[in-house]
Amino acid sequence: MFFSARQTEIIELAKSEGRVLVEYLAARFSVTPQTIRKDLNELCENRTLNRIHGGAIFPNGTENMRYEARRSIAASEKQAIGKAAANIIPNKSSLFINIGTTTEAVGDALLDHQELMVITNNINVANRLRIFPSIEVIIAGGVVRGTDGGIVGEAAVDFIRQFKVDYAVIGVSAIDQDGALLDYDFREVKVAQAIIANARHVILASDSSKFDRTAPVRIGHLSQVQTFITDHCPSESIRDICREAGVELIETTPRETDIIDDSFV
C-alpha cells in the first residue's frame, strides 16, 4: 500500500503518542473529520493501526504489522541503513540475509557488488538478487510464511548450519533497553540464532522505531553483533552496551545531541 504524506505523518504520530484522535488530526491537518476517518479506515484495514472509538492506536507489542505496511514505514531511513551496511561488505564475500524490510534495503544496496554469495531465508531478497549474474543466491528450504515470504522451521535452521560465512545481516522486531534482540515468531528466531552463530561478522540493521516496540521472543543480545547500524540511537543504555561490548554503532542520521554526547566518550 502507498501511504500519502498525511497518512505517513498520522502513523508517526500514533507511533510516538500511542494513539491519535479524529478531532485532533482534523484540526492539525486542516481537513474535515470525514477525511481523517477515511485515512484511519485505510490504515486500519491494512493493519498499520488499530481502530478505537474516536481514533486509532499503534499496534501493541504482541502484534506485528503487515509486511507491506512495514515496508512503507521509515523507508528513507531503511534505505540509508542499507547503504551503510553495503559499504561494510566487500566484493567476493559470502553473507546471510534474514527476513525483514530493513534487510531487504541492504539487499537492494548490494546490487552493484561483485562475486557475492548470498544465503537467505527471505524470498523477497532472493527474487530481487537472482537476476544479477555477479551475485549467487542460495535460498533456504522450509516452511514459507505467507505474511512476509520468510522461510522458517527446522529445515531452514539445518540448512543455515551448513555454512560459515563472512557476514550476516539481520533485522529484529524490537530492541529492549537491556540490549535484548526480540521477534514475534519463535520459528524465525531459531533461524536468526543459527545465522548469528555461523557468521564471522554480524551486522544488525534496524531503524530507531524498534526502540519503541516490544516482542515476546528473544533472539539474543546486542553484544553478540559486531556492527549495529541505525538511523539514530536515542538510548544512552544502548550506547553503553555498544561501548562495553565493542559493538561499532553507526548512525546514518545522528541527532545533534547524540553527536555532543559521543564527543565526551
Q: What is residue 69's predicted lDDT score, i.e. its pLDDT?
A: 65
Judge whether residue 73 has pLDDT over 80: no
Q: What is the pLDDT of residues 171-193, one digit of tens each?
A: 999 999 999 999 988 889 999 99
Q: What is residue 68's predicted lDDT score, i.e. its pLDDT?
A: 64
Same-domain status, 85 and 159: yes
**What single-letter amino acid sits at 1?**
M
Q: What is residue 111's predicted lDDT score, i.e. its pLDDT?
A: 95
Query: What gap in Å lies between CA 238 and CA 175, rounded to an integer?
Result: 9
Full DSSP string of 138-169: EE--SEEPTTT-BEESHHHHHHHTT--EEEEE
Residue 11: left if φ>0, alpha if ψ -120 to 50, beta else—which one? alpha
CA dihedral defined by 231, 214, 66, 142, rounded to 10 degrees? 100
Give the CATH number of the domain where residue 45 resides.
Answer: 1.10.10.10
Full DSSP string of 198-210: TEEEEEEE--GGG
Judge whether residue 59 has pLDDT over 80: no
- Name the residue range of residue 221's domain: 74-263
Same-domain status, 122 and 12: no
Q: Which three-class secondary structure state does DSSP give residue 118?
A: strand
Same-domain status, 78 and 43: no
Which band of pLDDT confidence, cut at 50, 70 and 90, is reported for residue 260?
Answer: very low
Burial class (CB within 10 angstroms; exposed 0-12, middle 13-18, buried 19+) of 50: middle
The answer to whether residue 69 is domain-embedded is: no
Task: Tell me the pLDDT of the chain averaged across its residues.
Answer: 89
The answer to whether residue 47 is domain-embedded is: yes
Give the CATH number of the domain where residue 125 resides.
Answer: 3.40.50.1360
The answer to whether residue 185 is domain-embedded is: yes
Same-domain status, 126 and 209: yes
Same-domain status, 99 and 39: no
- pLDDT > 70: percent of the chain: 90
- Least Cα distance to 107 among 93, 122, 115 occurs for 122
| Lowest model confidence (mean pLDDT) among 119-128, 129-138, 204-213 | 204-213
- Tally of domains within the chain: 2
Q: What is residue 228's predicted lDDT score, i.e. its pLDDT?
A: 98
Same-domain status, 143 and 106: yes
Same-domain status, 47 and 101: no
The answer to whether residue 66 is domain-embedded is: no
Sign of CA dihedral 83, 87, 90, 95: negative
The average pLDDT across 200-206 equals 98
Q: What is the pLDDT of residues 78-104, one digit of tens each?
A: 999 999 999 999 999 999 999 999 999
The answer to whether residue 98 is domain-embedded is: yes
Same-domain status, 87 and 143: yes
Same-domain status, 26 and 153: no
Same-domain status, 110 and 33: no
Same-domain status, 43 and 140: no
Same-domain status, 45 and 13: yes
Which band of pLDDT confidence, cut at 50, 70 and 90, is reported for residue 72?
Answer: low
The answer to whether residue 67 is domain-embedded is: no
Which band of pLDDT confidence, cut at 50, 70 and 90, is reported for residue 67?
Answer: low
Q: What is residue 264's predicted lDDT score, i.e. its pLDDT?
A: 33
The average pLDDT across 210-217 equals 86
The average pLDDT across 213-229 equals 94
Query: What gap in Å lies between CA 246 and CA 137, rounded to an integer?
Result: 31
The answer to whether residue 65 is domain-embedded is: no
The answer to whether residue 192 is domain-embedded is: yes
